[in-house]
Amino acid sequence: MENNEYIYIVLIKALTGLGKFSRKITKYEYTHIAVSFDDNLDDFITFSRKNHYSPFDAGFMHEKKEHYAFGRNTKVKVKIFKIPVSKEDKIKINEYVQKIENDKEYIFNLYSMITMPILHGIKIYKAHNCMSFVSKILELSNSIKLEKRYYKYNIKEIDKLLENYLLKECYLNKKQEDKSYMTKKGIIFNIKMFFKLNGQLIYRIIFKRRKL
């Protein structure tokens, strides 16, 4: 099959407090990752927070440049890889993305993210974070050979895996502020989201293991 279609994997130097903290610990620049289906880079598909001020209200997201360059930040640094895929595989990838987007059971895999340096990935029923989601897309592409299970890759490893497909490393400028995304949420809302997400994850670890 000819590879005459492309997908774009985008590494993002997140400007959030969590992103800055992660860089201090890992000494690695990029702390978020997403996939885009066209070279306009206007739609970044990933798993992430749904509001800037609510880290536990997270899940499947269509992000924009304004979600990365927020507030006084006018630009964000990114590293972009251009991955060739066949038409058949791109259709398969699109179908997978649509399936997840339409399935409201999918949640954010917080536990796999925070334990990645120690446990190197935890698979939980219908749960992704940005790393596992993008790695699954790469697996479906049939263009990249994964040496381990998709949910065990961190961003630095994905960076290395895709080094032969590097398109460019640059800054993306925001167009305008996303006021909805930047609306502040109260502490009560964030506490509720914290307990909701943790409750869902713990329940699935205990009772949904057989469905993996």
Which DSSP letter does residue 144 get? Answer: S
Q: How many whole angstroms separate alpha carbon 42 and alpha carbon 38?
A: 8
Q: Does position 2 have pLDDT exceeding 70, yes or no?
A: no
Q: 15 and 73 in contact (C-beta within 8 Å)?
A: yes
pLDDT for position 177: 86
The per-residue pLDDT for range 41-70, each reduced to its tens digit, is 999 999 999 999 999 999 999 999 999 998
Question: In this structure, are residues 8 and 41 in contact, taking their beta carbons and an 8 Å threshold?
Answer: yes
Instruction: Tell me the pLDDT tens digit for each residue of 4-29.
Output: 899 999 999 998 888 888 888 888 99
Q: Quick one: what percent of the chain has pLDDT higher than 70?
A: 99
Q: How far is CA 54 from the centre of its chain?
A: 16
Single pTM value for the model: 0.94
Q: Report the percent of the chain where pLDDT is more than 90.
A: 83
Predicted confidence (pLDDT) per residue in 79-112, tens digit: 999 999 999 999 999 999 999 999 999 999 999 9
Helices of type H across 87-186: 87-102, 110-114, 116-119, 130-141, 155-161
pLDDT of residue 119: 94
